[in-house]
Amino acid sequence: MYLIGLTGGIASGKSTVAKRLADLGAVGIDADRLAREVVEPGTPGLADIVTEFGEDIVLADGTLNRPALGAIIFTDPSRRERLNAITHPAVRQLTRARVAAAAAADPHAIVVYDVPLLAEAIAGGLVKFDLIVVVKADADTRIERMVKLRGLTPDEAIHRITAQASDAERLALADVVIDNTGTVAETLAQVDTLWDRVRSAEADASDGSNDIRLGPTAVES
């Protein structure tokens, strides 16, 4: 199995890259989806969130009121840390299980773990990545996307950007950088180039080669 850690700031276009890799044949594991699973109605995670943030954080149908929760945690770092303390252990457990399942199903699978908090995953020893891919776009572009596509105000968009790791912190971890400030076609061409190289790297690893990392680089289309 070849494991890619995929990250990028909010509205950087990480989901576009993840979808393309999945279309090409990668097994996708989305940390945000796992985070939703651990707070579904009836889960201990949701019960702990209600205890911490109050009954108003739950909608009439019993699901989590994500906009209300987001309004709290993106303006209050201490409350955000409390939420992370509730959800992260459960997400880590699910992540290990999904990665193990993918490896068991296909020892030669290329697995993409799409995760916003990649630095924390590495520091916590969650999984060992063969390659780290960072999707980048400048802050102005990301703010514009959040305002137009997500209906946020500029201030709300800025709060979400500043609540995450900085671009410099993400790029310091990168083996490969995909620039998503251009057109969709340009981004997808970079992903296709990456996929060809990853497939070769996985084949080399299967043949017993020790040099399976691609090295720090930007992917050129």
> Which of 215-219's residues contact partners 24+ apart within 8 Å by CB, and which partners?
215/175, 216/174, 216/175, 216/176, 217/175, 217/176, 217/177, 218/176, 218/177, 218/178, 218/179, 219/176, 219/177, 219/178, 219/190, 219/191, 219/193, 219/194
- Within a domain: 166: yes
Summarised one tens digit per residue, pLDDT across range 166-213 is 888 889 989 999 999 989 999 999 999 999 999 998 887 766 543 333
- Within a domain: 198: yes
Q: Give the CATH number, domain containing residue 106.
A: 3.40.50.300
Segment among 140-149, 195-204, 211-220 with least mean pLDDT: 211-220
Summarised one tens digit per residue, pLDDT across range 45-95 is 999 999 999 999 999 999 999 999 988 998 898 999 999 899 988 998 999
Confidence of residue 220 (pLDDT cuts 50, 70, 90): very low
- Within a domain: 114: yes
- Within a domain: 58: no
Per-residue confidence (pLDDT) for residue 202, from 0 to 100: 86
- Within a domain: 101: yes
- Within a domain: 35: yes
Per-residue confidence (pLDDT) for residue 120, from 0 to 100: 64
Per-residue confidence (pLDDT) for residue 125, from 0 to 100: 65
Which residues constitute the domain of residue 24? Answer: 2-41+92-218
- Within a domain: 11: yes
Say how many domains are in the chain.
1
- Within a domain: 139: yes
